[in-house]
Amino acid sequence: MYILGISCFYHDSAAAILKDGKLMAAIEEEKLSRKKHDFGFPAKAVDYCLKQAGVSINDIDYVIFYEKPFLKFERILKTVLSSFPYSLKMFQDSSMLWLKERLWIKALIKESLNYKGEILFSTHHMSHAASCFLASPFEESAIVTLDGVGEWATLSVGIGRGKDIEIKKQINFPHSLGLLYSVFTAFLGFKVNNGEYKVMGMAPYGEPIYTDKIYKMIKVEEDGSFKLNMDYFSYHKNPSQIFSRKFLDEFGRPQDPKETENLNKYYCDIAASVQKVLEDVLLKIISSVYKEYGIENLCMAGGVALNSVANAKILKNTGFKQIFIQPQAGDGGGALGAALYLCNTVLGKERVFVQDHAYYGPEYSNEEIRKFLEEQQINYEELEMEAVFKRAADYLAQGKVLGWFQGKMEWGPRALGNRSILADPRRKDMKDIVNRKIKFREPFRPFAPSVLSDKAFEWFDLGKAENSWPLRFMLYVIDVKRDKKELIPAITHVDGTARPQLVFQKDNPCYYSLIEEFYKRTGVPLVLNTSFNLRGEPIVCSPADAFNTFSKSGIDILILNNFLIKKNG
């Protein structure tokens, strides 16, 4: 049985395909269309999933969409009417979008894919819940999903047992932790739905001295339930101006996007303050869930679940022993969640899938890569794989920056060693080199280490996280051990933390072998890893994407499978 899951029309459109309950392929549309945060119908993603599964659209038993469009449109209409006439522009803009296309998903799927089978719909937060619980190794788990907004829900709490998911409670729009964080993202000069992680990276440069001002905007109960004071916000009236005059009276002039690189203390302190409030509210919510249900496992999804600083504090400061977080926790992950929900919960099929890695995107053979290089008349060396590992480790130890392209592309926003830019973590200047000359981005942005799984405990204070699944997906920020910080300055953030990825030999033997070779040369079992892309572009997918980024940046060496290309070549 084949089930195709689809998400689109907000941000990060995606598709995922299951065969008899197992994930065969999953990819975000942006990685194929090359349009950052592409929210259009994911035709290219669907086509990839069908090809990877070896089927045509006629072989698909069910297509399921990740949310209910009419329910979402109801929320938009009610919101518009409650604030009319201030929301007139919002009404005009949303009516055009929804009445033209977004309400008619069933017809769009049938027409775009020439699909004649059954089309079903999940709800937004059920898709999030299923994407984490039904992909987890747990038979029983508490489930918490948090984002900006789905149809109505912005936060959901549920319980997963076996194949079943029950949503126990939720908080509805306009009250939203995700939107609160997004408002400050915009105020700090970053793009909403794109720059929230920049706020997280900026926060350690400031002090949380403005939490009292933020708590004027949000009333939090002991169990973590909350309400926003909507006098400070206008996203429910005008999405192009999401904070109100009262907000500006409280915090002053928004930071100019051109000034974000300067690390102005005032704005850093605001970033630290909103991060602290988010963490404190999340800890209250999740501690309350643990006390109420007494389950030792926790599953999380939704965009807020990508806040890796908060995630580590949740594990450390609540009673939960194990946490699973969907690596594509945002709306793209809803495509997978909807398909799993239909397969396991609705149809009652046994669970046969555990997501222990994120490599579900396209891969390219040596023949395909060789053809590309020769057609473009690019000089290259072709090596045996063992030689690739040795040469790559030599270059890294010499201070070269590598574009590393191997195997299947990653599912989700993180580069996990198959579409990565790699560098030597021991060099203090490497962070600035990669930020300024290669990524062309803000100098404060931190880099993550990829570390051999059996050596990680020697370099990082893993604590309860040692056997935790999020470490596979770069979803915890934890302390670098005190005696190691000076040895790996390029991946140690200003507050002494890092966001490591544990690399397991069975999941990615190629990447593991490279890091192992670097370890033999340097005594350091980890490398600096950042996503293989330029600022404002999606992560590279194809050899052509990789060579284009290599050509336009300061990357020294490009390795495509067995092929090595030098800049001066």
Q: Nearest to residue 449, comparing CAs of 426, 468, 429, 469?
A: 426
Distance of CA 309 to the CA centre of its chain: 14
Q: What is the mean pLDDT of the chain?
A: 93
Please check whether residue 525 is in contact with residue 455, taking contact to mean a CB–CB distance below 8 angstroms: yes
Confidence at residue 101, expressed as pLDDT on a 0 to 100 scale = 67
- The 10 Å CB-count burial string (b at 16+, else e) for 169-196 is eebebbbbbbbbbbbbbbbbbbebbebb
Q: Nearest to residue 475, comparing CAs of 456, 502, 441?
A: 502
Give phi and psi for 450, each to the nearest 5. Answer: -105, 125
Confidence at residue 142, expressed as pLDDT on a 0 to 100 scale = 98
Please check whether residue 265 is in contact with residue 258, taking contact to mean a CB–CB distance below 8 angstroms: no
Confidence at residue 243, expressed as pLDDT on a 0 to 100 scale = 87
pLDDT exceeds 60 at position 98: no
| Range 297-318 average pLDDT | 96
SS3 labels along 424-478: CCCCCCHHHHHHHHHHCCCCCCCCEEEEECCCHHHHECCHHHHHCHHHHHCCCCE
| Share above pLDDT 70 across residues of the chain, in percent, rounded to a whole number | 95
Domains and CATH numbers, the chain: 2-66+68-121+331-346 (3.30.420.40), 177-325 (3.30.420.40), 366-566 (3.90.870.20)
The two three-digit tokens of residue 83, written as one number: 């604030």
The two three-digit tokens of residue 474, written as one number: 């770069």
pLDDT exceeds 90 at position 348: yes
The Cα-based distances of 132 to 143, 301, 321, 350 in angstroms read 8, 6, 16, 16
pLDDT exceeds 70 at position 411: yes
Confidence at residue 97, expressed as pLDDT on a 0 to 100 scale = 62
pLDDT digits (tens, 9 = 90+) for 243-271: 899 999 999 999 999 998 889 999 999 99
pLDDT digits (tens, 9 = 90+) for 224-239: 999 999 999 988 877 6
Q: Nearest to residue 273, comparing CAs of 250, 301, 249?
A: 250
DSSP assignment letter at 480: B
pLDDT digits (tens, 9 = 90+) for 420-445: 999 999 999 998 888 888 887 787 88
pLDDT band at 354 (very low <50, low <70, confident <90, very high): very high
pLDDT digits (tens, 9 = 90+) for 99-135: 566 778 999 999 999 999 999 999 999 999 999 999 9
pLDDT digits (tens, 9 = 90+) for 72-83: 877 777 776 666
* Structure-model confidence comparison of residues 95 and 483, the more confident one: 483
Stretch among 91-95, 402-406, 407-411, 545-549 having the lowest mean pLDDT: 91-95
Using CA atoms of 339, 344, 350, 355 in order, give the dihedral in degrees to the nearest 10. Answer: 50
Q: Nearest to residue 14, comparing CAs of 23, 4, 24?
A: 4
State the amino acid at position 385 in one-letter form: M
Confidence at residue 71, expressed as pLDDT on a 0 to 100 scale = 83
DSSP H or E segment with residue 14: strand 14-19
Confidence at residue 463, expressed as pLDDT on a 0 to 100 scale = 85
DSSP assignment letter at 230: G
Question: Long-range contact list for 392-397, CB < 8 A, 24+ apart?
Answer: 392/422, 392/514, 392/517, 392/557, 392/559, 393/514, 393/517, 393/518, 393/520, 393/521, 394/521, 395/556, 395/557, 396/422, 396/423, 396/424, 396/518, 396/527, 397/424, 397/518, 397/521, 397/522
Confidence at residue 299, expressed as pLDDT on a 0 to 100 scale = 98
Please check whether residue 154 is in contact with residue 171, taking contact to mean a CB–CB distance below 8 angstroms: yes
pLDDT exceeds 80 at position 493: yes
pTM: 0.95
pLDDT exceeds 70 at position 88: no
pLDDT band at 533 (very low <50, low <70, confident <90, very high): very high
Q: Angle CA(327)–CA(362)–CA(505) in degrees, nearest 5?
A: 60
